[in-house]
Amino acid sequence: MMMANSVGRLCFAHKTVLAPMVRVGTLPMRLLALDYGADIVYCEELIDIKMAQCERVVNDVLETVDFVAPDERVMFRTCSKEKGRVVFQMGTADPERALAVAKLVENDVAAVDVNMGCPKEYSTKGGMGSALLSDPEKIEAILSTLVNGISKPVTCKIRILSTLEDTVNLVKRIEKTGVAAIAVHGRMKDERPRHPVHCDYIQAVAESVSIPVIANGGSSDMVKSFEDMEKFREATGASSVMLARAAMWNPSIFRQQGALSVEEVMEEYIRYAVRYDNNPFNTKYCLCQMLRDKVESPFGKRLHAAQTNEEICEVFGMTDFYNKTTAELEARKAALQTNGDQSEHPKLVDDVVTMPVRFERRDYPPQITPKMYLLEWSRKEKLDQPVYETEQRTQDRGFQSTVIMDNKKYRSTLWEKSKKFAEQAAAIVCLRTLGLPEGRIGEEHSGLVNKRKRDDKKCAALDDNESAGRKRHISEVPQEEEEEMICRTKVVNGVCGQTTC
């Protein structure tokens, strides 16, 4: 029936596909679908504005690539196991922003898809999803920009329009942009799963274009088993079949030998969720979808009450697996930290001392930072305050800072997602090179920053022995002011990052 995935550029002909599903299409579900026989898996729709703010982070502990938002939430997580078969789906209404996001992820995915079929308000209110169907010019602009701007295949997923003629005309315009395939949900944007799927519309689309058409929308009407996927494909004349709810209820529907019990599938899902540190509320949501009408049973209520992956494992009698897996991950983390500490020796590059270090906010107590420690130390030693010079590069808007301390320069070789984080990383390099404490959690108390005041009262008068121009003592400086200190930002590659603080 369905051909195996070919090596190289992803082909969309003769494939079974896991559809993009909000809150469902995260890494554990995608990997599970691949295990059971799916050829291609789509991630959940991710909004371009949120993704454009993310930083690409290699997670050596989990062996994943994470795209992390400024609030440290992982928006998209992927791994090598799915790299050649995962399609990144975005919600967008802007060609340039879509291209920026596509460039951010293209080296970690097999293809990029634009959502043009979601009828939900969170997507359509920004002119995305099915709202794009009424704006063919914008559709052409987005898809053409992506096709010409990235090296990976570009696809889109649409819903059918109110008439067959309008639907065919739209897909012909889409084909001309150079997309590799079109996924067609055989319902109009105001129709829901209770409405029958329009196989005749999908068939007309398949006959009107030369690129692969992926049929979607048959979960309620036609697809209850692996064999039904071929029947749906034949009824629509499509090249491939994409499943959403049928796969959400039991992803082993992709299994040629027949579906497994939901209980077995749920346990396999949990194994991936724990192994890849999946958000527990996402884990619980997906498991509840598999339970379906049993979600109100005593077992379902126990699952619903669970708040962590550990508690979810307890419900399923998988505590031993949880403890073993988390212990393995902790051991790997400890080994990486040890190796990292050994390799992080200062190096002199030109006239700058460098180290590959990154500022991790969670490693420090609230309201304590390396910059604060460095400033306090400079005052204690009666040295000039540290001065920060920061660069911003154009391709990913990353920041790198150099701190000048006692006429010497210090810099991290790693680029940070924000100007402040870059300055903190530079301060860490300086402190570690000088063998000074930096304020990390668990670090032996140094006595440097120990009298900090966190209120809005007026500062005490300056000491008579201090010069009139000197800044207030760090214990009397409001947090917002001390975070900035003294810094300068350069213009790099013709783009100005931020002005002086």
Q: Which two tokens stand for residue 384?
A: 């000039």
Name every residue whose Cβ is closer than 8 Å to that of residue 429 and which is 6 or more positions away in sequence: 346, 353, 354, 355, 357, 403, 410, 411, 412
Q: Give alpha helix (H) positions in 344-409.
A: 370-380
Size of the chain, expressed as the number of residues it contains: 501
Exposure string over 349-372, b if 16+ CB within 10 A, otherwise e: eeebbbbebbbeeeebeeeebbbb
Task: For residue 336, count other CB atoms closer than 10 A to its CB.
Answer: 12
> Largest Cα–Cα distance in the chain?
89
- CA dihedral 216→221→226→232, nearest 10 degrees, is -60
Q: Give alpha helix (H) positions in 110-225.
A: 121-124, 136-149, 164-175, 199-208
Name every residue whose Cβ is closer than 8 Å to that of residue 234 and which is 6 or more positions away in sequence: none
Q: Which two tokens stand for residue 253?
A: 């529907």
Q: Provide the 8-state DSSP code for 477.
A: S
Name every residue whose Cβ is closer than 8 Å to that of residue 92 and which is 6 or more positions away in sequence: 47, 48, 98, 101, 114, 115, 128, 142
Alpha-carbon distance of 414 to 147, in angstroms, equals 31
Known active-site residue 118: yes
- Report whether 386 contacts 427 (CB < 8 A): yes
Q: Which two tokens stand for residue 226?
A: 């692996």
Angle at 95 between CA 92 and CA 98, to 5 degrees: 50
Helical axes 27-36 vs 280-291, angle rounded to 10°: 50
- Report whether 202 contacts 212 (CB < 8 A): no
- Report whether 51 contacts 101 (CB < 8 A): yes
DSSP string, 16-70: EEEPP-TTT-SHHHHHHHHHHT-SEEEPPPEEHHHHHT-EEEEETTTTEEEEE-T
Strand partners, 346: none
Could you say which of 11, 54, 79, 118 is catalytic?
Answer: 118
Active site amino acids: 118
